[in-house]
Amino acid sequence: MIAIVDCNSFYCSCERLFRPDLEQKPVVVLSNNDGCIISRSDEAKQLGVAMAGPYFKAKPIIEQNDVTVFSSNYNLYGDLSWRVMETLRVMFGTEKVEVYSVDEAFIKLDTTPPTEIENLATQIKNTVEQWTGIKVSVGIAATKVLAKVANRLAKKNKQLTNCVAVIHTETKRIEALKKTNIDSVWGIGFSYAEKLKKHRINTAYDLSLKDIVWCKKHLGGVVGVRLVQELKGIPCITMHDELTDKKMIATTRMFGEAVTDIESIKEAVATYTSRAAEKLRRQNCSAKTIGVFLVTKQQNHNASFNRGATITSHTKLEVATSLTHLLIKPAIAMAERLFQQGTVYKKAGVMLSNIVNDTSVQGNLFVDESTNKQRFLMDVIDNINFSQRDDMLKYAASGTTRNWKMQQLFHSPKYTSRWNELCLVQ
């Protein structure tokens, strides 16, 4: 059996954890730059606040119903996510827990007797909530896809299920699949859902009745076959180890206000390059390719909200590196080439690829010895910035005023990761 533990309205739960006065009150969390709604409490959902919709569109409902609004606080969410996942690792062991996303994890329950499954699901829920304060839903079934189905049903009617659902019999499997719309099945996107509906497949149960030949033809080949097999209760999607080393690193942000000058673009690109390089060094790797992209602001303000054009460029370095200054130089050069006077920009980003382990990068015999030891300088800067926070040490190319930084008008304190922002109890 496989369990999935899913945090309920995770970002909202994190904010409520330190604001008990908001319990059972409508809460929403906004995306970067306070643009869109990315998390809603159940109370906000009942008011009709749309998920992923623009904040300004939902503002009338939010103001009329006294909905509490928060900007994204990723320091807080990341730390509380780690606490939830660490709780599961303590309970079951690292090798049996697969972290699927910031608020979800699969657990392999191969040694748990069938008669104890339902009690275990409740125990998982109670332990995580007691140790971390984050409310979760637990779904358990024979396969990953069925576990996702169970979890969805557990969250759909929380008062009835107590956020726990177990599919451990054939009768319950069929019943759960019949209650699940085809567009709610894990792995079925909007396009495939519309295609399947044309074939009169409206529920997960309808899809589970299809054979392998049909799935290969209409559902993406082997991937579709695995999905349907999982719906039938046959495990096909295995547990994976947590990915610790990234094969590509990207840092990108929306600007806090429209940018039209080259200096702001260069400062943003230099800042994003520094952050990407720090992530690169954190996994003891170097990159051979660096790319830069700029996104223009759509001048035609219509109802479609189409994103502006994206212009990109990349450079292959002679030697893979993780040294910030060696990455900033080509990044700024690309930004200068991409920039067009008179164009309004709303976003920029930096991507590092062709990543290799530091042990495979050879030093240069024909330069001064200190040059080959500049990685030590980078480690010192990283340690200072990690302990002091807020880019205490930075390259001049990153700028000092940074008027282009994203807006966060409703930011809550970093309760668990800043001494001066600890929660005060009176």
CATH of the domain at 309: 3.30.1490.100
CATH number at residue 183: 1.10.150.20
Q: What is the pLDDT of residues 30-52, one digit of tens each?
A: 988 888 899 999 999 999 998 98
Domain assignment present for 414: no
- Residue 158 pLDDT: 86
| Model pLDDT, residue 418 | 81
Whether residue 180 sits in one domain with residue 148: no
Which pLDDT score, from 0 to 100, does residue 303 have?
A: 44
Residues 149 and 11 in one domain: yes
Same domain assignment for residues 13 and 114: yes
Shared domain check, 312 and 261:
yes
Residues 156 and 203 in one domain: no
CA distances from 349 to 53, 249, 309 (A): 23, 11, 14
153 and 36 in a common domain: yes
The predicted model scores a pTM of 0.80
CATH of the domain at 105: 3.30.70.270
Whether 153 contacts 139, CB under 8 Å:
yes
280 and 202 housed in the same domain: no
User: Is residue 420 one of the residues assigned to a domain?
Assistant: no
Q: Are 150 and 139 in contact (CB under 8 A)?
A: yes
In a domain, 416, yes or no: no
DSSP string spanning 283-350?
TTEEEEEEEEEEEEPPSS--TT-----EEEEEEEEEEEE--HHHHHHHHHHHHHHH--TT--EEEEEE
| Residue numbers of the chain with a pLDDT score lower than 50 | 303-304
Amino acid at 301: H
47 membership: H or E segment, kind and range: none
Q: Which is it for strands 164-166 and 136-141: parallel, antiparallel or unpaired?
A: parallel
Q: Please give the tally of structural domains in the chain.
A: 3
Amino acid 397 reads A
User: Which residue, of 168, 185, 204, is where some domain finishes?
Assistant: 168
Interacting residues of 298 by C-beta distance below 8 A, sequence separation 6+: 305, 306, 307, 308
Residue 87 lies inside a defined structural domain of this protein: yes
Instruction: Judge if 58 and 182 occupy the same domain.
Output: no
Identify whether residues 394 and 256 lie together within a single domain: yes
From first CA to last CA, the distance across the chain in angstroms is 46
List CB contacts of 160: < 8 A, sequence separation 6 or more: none
Give domain status of residue 417, yes or no.
no
Q: Are residues 151 and 191 located together in one domain of the fold?
A: no
257, 233: one domain? no
Give the range of the structural domain holding residue 365, as residue numbers without chain letter: 249-398
Tell me whether residue 418 is in a domain: no
Answer whether residue 298 is part of any domain: yes
Answer whether residue 60 is part of any domain: yes
159 and 233, same domain (yes or no):
no
User: In the prediction, which pLDDT does 416 show?
Assistant: 87
Among the candidates 168, 197, 222, a domain finishes at 168
pLDDT of residue 192: 86
Q: Between β-strands 164-166 and 27-30, what pairing exists: parallel, antiparallel or unpaired? A: unpaired
